[in-house]
């Protein structure tokens, strides 16, 4: 099999504007990726290619195709990126002729979220067009070739393999006059043109780079979208006309405003999974989103006869069935591999006031690369549960919360107190496997009765992100004070510490421990908050566990599982490599059970399990071989090369 670097090439995907494109296999994740080879010559092209690859790698967003790697081999330059199985928006428009109002709003909002993120990251796309947008078979909408096409010499995107297209339609007037004027407003112009094409099936400007067409672009002379589509919603027309204004200063300045305009029209979609499934069904022709109802009848029809029979068998009315399905059953029974579950509990010290008026609030954030983004969902409702009350505490509880697996941060405010914790949410399926837990994760916060005073108390509890266990080894904690980082323990011991540690102020901390990645965090104590408890997760630095074997078909398990939590700054659950002479696992230091399984045929399998202690910064390597008599396996520790 042909190899490019460490990637096994599965086949050619054709030729792009900047070079050859291949489908390949990632060596450890065993996932399909795309490898792009730069064929354009020249030092300037190579330098631009490198720089743009680095920019793309910095963009981590579900609406942008990920770039995993870029490297040089034998004088050739490559980019390795996420493989998306689907069609381009250009193909979808051609298939549908013109998208319906709801479909256009749903898809365009996804694009706006991704582009707004890029703009906040200081990146301008500069080549927005339907051919550079992918709609996956899972209903995900993703930007492709972020910033590269315009930099590696595609002549403003006029040509692509096999056909000529008039991408002049997507160039803002100021770009035609001076390409160096490109900024986020020129991206917004191009995105608005893309929306125009989505809802009308036509480009606003055609005819190539003729003087007449150029003048129309500069003067903003195009057919109003409603003249081509009389059924167009006013909100879409407003977004298009404002976004395509000929003067950049009078154009939409930020895509967040577009998102805010669309949100009220898309409340029928409860979460991201429902959005993706709606897009998926629309692309496949299974559903017309214009007629999609947001009520029990639609749920029963959407779910099929099996769900209807199930609800009838349980004796549930249509309304009750709808609520049960929306609030949990669809996640527990249909998508247990795609969603995790957790529940929030608060214990508030009993006071003179009624429990219903006790101030309580929770905010959920999701890690998005190096940033934390607010989870787009309804506010967390913390209901009073008198049946769970304890002698000295009121008990509040949320409904079960369902979110996609990932790393989340929970900010909780209870009267004068604030709590913060970061946790790794596994899928329901994985929660059941690991803990035999069908109820989801429970996060409990216990408040204390605090005095109305200005001195504040800050408690930091560092934990291992993967295991959620407290870190007991030597820890360095520093606080930012008067322009410098100072030791937190020494700072608290100062005679004037009480003067500085008070409510109503901003705080920044750095935590570092050997064998862990350092962690920084900042927060603000409200004037009435005199205590904050923070559970601070640190990610362990990975230790390499390598298993070498010449036995074909040898299987590996770790702690009796075929997947493991890959250590790193952002730990993730990945499959254990199932093939290859040398298999490498990136693990957090700790105690593990390594099992090797070698099928012999006729239902017979040789197996061996060995305990392994992985210490920080100490790679371990083992070789698996048959015993001399061929009746067993040997797991021999090797010297690392």
3-state secondary structure of 14: strand
Predicted local confidence at residue 163, as pLDDT: 31
Which of 83-87, 276-280, 525-529 comes out lowest in average pLDDT?
A: 525-529
Is residue 22 located within the same domain as residue 124?
Answer: no
Token pair for residue 57? 């790698």
Predicted local confidence at residue 370, as pLDDT: 77
Predicted local confidence at residue 598, as pLDDT: 92
What is the mean pLDDT of the segment spanning 127-146?
90
243, containing H or E segment: helix 234-243
Residue 6 has pLDDT above 70, yes or no: yes
3-state secondary structure of 80: strand
Predicted local confidence at residue 359, as pLDDT: 83
Per the CB < 8 A criterion, the answer to whether 633 and 624 are in contact is yes
Quickly state the pLDDT bin for 336 (edges 50, 70, 90).
Answer: confident
Token pair for residue 128? 């927005």
**Domain count within the chain:** 4
Is residue 385 located within the same domain as residue 431?
Answer: yes
Is residue 447 located within the same domain as residue 412?
Answer: yes
pLDDT in tens, 90-115: 999 998 888 999 999 999 999 999 99
Quickly state the pLDDT bin for 12 (edges 50, 70, 90).
Answer: confident
The angle at the Cα of 398, spanning 395 to 399, to the nearest 5 degrees, equals 135
At which of 491, 523, 538 does a domain end?
538
pLDDT in tens, 234-254: 999 999 999 999 999 999 999
pLDDT in tens, 441-470: 777 777 764 444 478 899 999 998 888 889
Quickly state the pLDDT bin for 489 (edges 50, 70, 90).
Answer: very high
312 within a domain of the structure (yes/no): no
Is residue 54 located within the same domain as residue 102?
Answer: no
Predicted local confidence at residue 150, as pLDDT: 41
Rg (CA), the chain: 28
57 within a domain of the structure (yes/no): yes
Residues 192 and 576: their CA atoms lie apart, in Å, by 45
Predicted local confidence at residue 440, as pLDDT: 63
Predicted local confidence at residue 448, as pLDDT: 64
What's this model's pTM, rounded to 2 decimal places? 0.48
What is the mean pLDDT of the segment spanning 139-149?
75
Residues whose CB falls within 8 Å of the CB of residue 341, separated by 6 or more in sequence, listed in order:
331, 332, 400, 401, 402, 428, 431, 439, 440, 441
Is residue 519 located within the same domain as residue 378?
Answer: yes
142 within a domain of the structure (yes/no): yes
25 within a domain of the structure (yes/no): yes
Q: In what order do the strands lie in the sheet with 141-143?
A: 86-88, 133-136, 141-143
Residues 490 and 487: their CA atoms lie apart, in Å, by 5
**Count of CB atoms within 10 A of residue 456's CB?**
21
Residues 509 and 477: their CA atoms lie apart, in Å, by 7
Is residue 369 located within the same domain as residue 238?
Answer: no
116 within a domain of the structure (yes/no): yes
Cα 109 to the center of its chain, rounded Å: 16
Cα 196 to the center of its chain, rounded Å: 28
280 within a domain of the structure (yes/no): no
Residues 446 and 345: their CA atoms lie apart, in Å, by 9
Q: What is the mean pLDDT of the chain?
A: 82
pLDDT in tens, 505-553: 889 999 999 889 999 998 888 777 888 999 999 999 999 999 999 999 9
What's the domain range around 626?
543-638
Residues 315 and 333: their CA atoms lie apart, in Å, by 18
Torsion of CA 471, 476, 478, 484, to 10 degrees: -160
What is the mean pLDDT of the segment spanning 186-208?
91
Residue 595 has pLDDT above 90, yes or no: yes
3-state secondary structure of 594: strand
Is residue 506 located within the same domain as residue 462?
Answer: yes
Residues 412 and 414: their CA atoms lie apart, in Å, by 7
Distances (CA, A) of 346 to 339, 390, 407, 412, 426: 23, 12, 21, 9, 22
Residue 306 has pLDDT above 50, yes or no: no
Percent of the chain scoring above 90 in pLDDT: 35
Residue 189 has pLDDT above 90, yes or no: yes
At which of 506, 538, 570 does a domain end?
538
336, containing H or E segment: none
At which of 206, 240, 266 does a domain end?
266
Residue 402 has pLDDT above 50, yes or no: yes
Is residue 249 located within the same domain as residue 180?
Answer: yes
Predicted local confidence at residue 302, as pLDDT: 43
Is residue 565 located within the same domain as residue 490?
Answer: no
Residues 258 and 195: their CA atoms lie apart, in Å, by 12
User: 3-state secondary structure string, 414-478?
Assistant: ECCEEEEEEEEECCHHHHHHHHCCCCCEEEEEECCCCCCCCECEEEEEEEECCCCCECCCCEEEE
The angle at the Cα of 377, spanning 372 to 380, to the nearest 5 degrees, equals 95
Predicted local confidence at residue 305, as pLDDT: 42
Is residue 213 located within the same domain as residue 104?
Answer: yes
**Closest to 578 (Cα-Cα) out of 541, 543, 553:** 553
**Closest to 523 (Cα-Cα) out of 503, 508, 511, 513:** 508
What is the mean pLDDT of the segment spanning 318-324?
51
Predicted local confidence at residue 325, as pLDDT: 52
Is residue 453 located within the same domain as residue 500?
Answer: yes
What is the mean pLDDT of the segment spanning 356-382?
84
Residues 548 and 623: their CA atoms lie apart, in Å, by 5
Residues 455 and 478: their CA atoms lie apart, in Å, by 20
Predicted local confidence at residue 641, as pLDDT: 58
613 within a domain of the structure (yes/no): yes
Quickly state the pLDDT bin for 355 (edges 50, 70, 90).
Answer: confident
Predicted local confidence at residue 195, as pLDDT: 97
276 within a domain of the structure (yes/no): no
Predicted local confidence at residue 612, as pLDDT: 93
Per the CB < 8 A criterion, the answer to whether 208 and 248 are in contact is no
Residue 319 has pLDDT above 60, yes or no: no
| CATH of residue 614 | 2.60.40.2630
pLDDT in tens, 13-66: 887 666 788 899 888 777 899 998 887 777 777 777 777 787 778 888 899 998
Quickly state the pLDDT bin for 156 (edges 50, 70, 90).
Answer: very low
Predicted local confidence at residue 107, as pLDDT: 96
Quickly state the pLDDT bin for 142 (edges 50, 70, 90).
Answer: very high
Predicted local confidence at residue 313, as pLDDT: 52
Percent of the chain scoring above 70 in pLDDT: 86
Is residue 62 located within the same domain as residue 200?
Answer: no
Predicted local confidence at residue 112, as pLDDT: 95
Residues whose CB falls within 8 Å of the CB of residue 78, separated by 6 or more in sequence, listed in order:
4, 5, 35, 36, 37, 38, 69, 70, 71, 72
pLDDT in tens, 566-582: 999 888 889 999 888 99
């Amino acid at each position: 099999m042909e190899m490019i670097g460490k990637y096994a090439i599965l086949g050619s995907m054709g030729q792009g504007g900047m070079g050859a494109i291949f489908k390949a296999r990632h060596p450890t994740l065993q996932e399909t990726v795309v490898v792009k080879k730069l064929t354009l010559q020249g030092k300037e092209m190579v330098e631009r290619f490198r720089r743009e690859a680095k920019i793309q790698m910095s963009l981590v967003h579900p609406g942008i195709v990920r770039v995993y790697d870029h490297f040089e081999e034998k004088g050739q330059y490559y980019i390795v990126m996420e493989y998306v199985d689907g069609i381009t928006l250009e193909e979808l428009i051609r298939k549908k002729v013109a998208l319906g109002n709801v479909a256009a709003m749903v898809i365009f909002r996804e694009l706006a979220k991704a582009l707004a993120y890029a703009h906040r990251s200081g990146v301008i796309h500069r080549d927005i067009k339907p051919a550079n947008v992918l709609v996956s078979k899972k209903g995900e909408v993703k930007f492709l070739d972020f910033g590269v096409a315009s930099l590696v010499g595609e002549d403003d995107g006029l040509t692509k393999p096999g056909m000529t297209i008039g991408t002049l339609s997507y160039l803002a007037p100021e770009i035609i006059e001076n390409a160096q004027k490109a900024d986020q407003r020129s991206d917004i112009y191009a995105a608005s043109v893309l929306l125009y094409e989505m809802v009308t099936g036509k480009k606003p400007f055609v005819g190539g780079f003729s003087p007449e067409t150029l003048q129309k672009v500069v003067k903003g002379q195009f057919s109003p979208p409603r003249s081509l589509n009389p059924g167009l919603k006013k909100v879409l027309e407003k977004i298009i006309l404002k976004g395509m204004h000929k003067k950049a200063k009078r154009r939409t300045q930020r895509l967040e405003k577009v998102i805010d305009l669309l949100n009220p029209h898309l409340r029928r979609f409860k979460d991201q999974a429902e959005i993706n499934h709606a897009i998926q069904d629309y692309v496949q022709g299974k559903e017309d989103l214009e007629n999609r109802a947001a009520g029990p009848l639609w749920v029963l029809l959407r779910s099929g006869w099996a769900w209807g029979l199930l609800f009838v068998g349980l004796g549930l009315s249509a309304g009750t069935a709808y609520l049960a399905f929306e609030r949990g059953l669809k996640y527990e029974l249909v998508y247990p591999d795609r969603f995790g579950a957790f529940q929030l509990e608060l214990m508030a010290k009993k006071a003179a006031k009624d429990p219903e008026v006790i101030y309580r609030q929770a905010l959920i954030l999701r890690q998005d690369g190096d940033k934390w983004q607010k989870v787009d969902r309804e506010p967390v409702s913390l209901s009073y549960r008198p049946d769970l009350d304890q002698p000295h505490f009121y008990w509040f509880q949320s409904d079960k919360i369902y979110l996609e697996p990932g790393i989340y941060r929970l900010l909780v405010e209870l009267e004068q107190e604030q709590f913060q914790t970061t946790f790794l949410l596994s899928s329901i399926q994985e929660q059941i496997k690991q803990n035999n837990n069908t109820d989801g994760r429970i996060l409990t916060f216990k408040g204390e009765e605090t005095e109305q005073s200005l001195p504040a108390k800050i408690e930091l509890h560092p934990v291992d992100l993967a295991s959620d266990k407290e870190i007991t080894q030597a820890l360095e904690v520093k606080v930012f004070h008067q322009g410098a980082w100072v030791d937190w323990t020494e700072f608290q011991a100062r005679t004037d510490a009480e003067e500085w540690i008070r409510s109503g102020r901003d705080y920044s901390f750095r935590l570092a421990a050997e064998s862990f990645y350092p962690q920084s965090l900042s927060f603000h104590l409200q004037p009435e908050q005199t205590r904050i408890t923070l559970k601070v997760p640190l990610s362990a630095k990975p230790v390499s566990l390598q298993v070498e074997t010449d036995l074909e078909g040898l299987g590996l398990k770790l702690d009796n599982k075929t997947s493991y939590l890959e250590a790193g700054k952002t730990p993730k659950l990945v499959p254990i490599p199932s093939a290859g002479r040398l298999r490498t696992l990136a693990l957090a230091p700790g105690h593990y059970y390594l099992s090797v399984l070698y099928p012999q045929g006729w239902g017979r399998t040789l197996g061996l399990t060995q305990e392994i202690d992985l210490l920080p910064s100490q790679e371990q390597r083992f070789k698996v071989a048959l015993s001399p008599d061929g009746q067993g396996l040997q797991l021999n520790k090797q010297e690392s090369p």
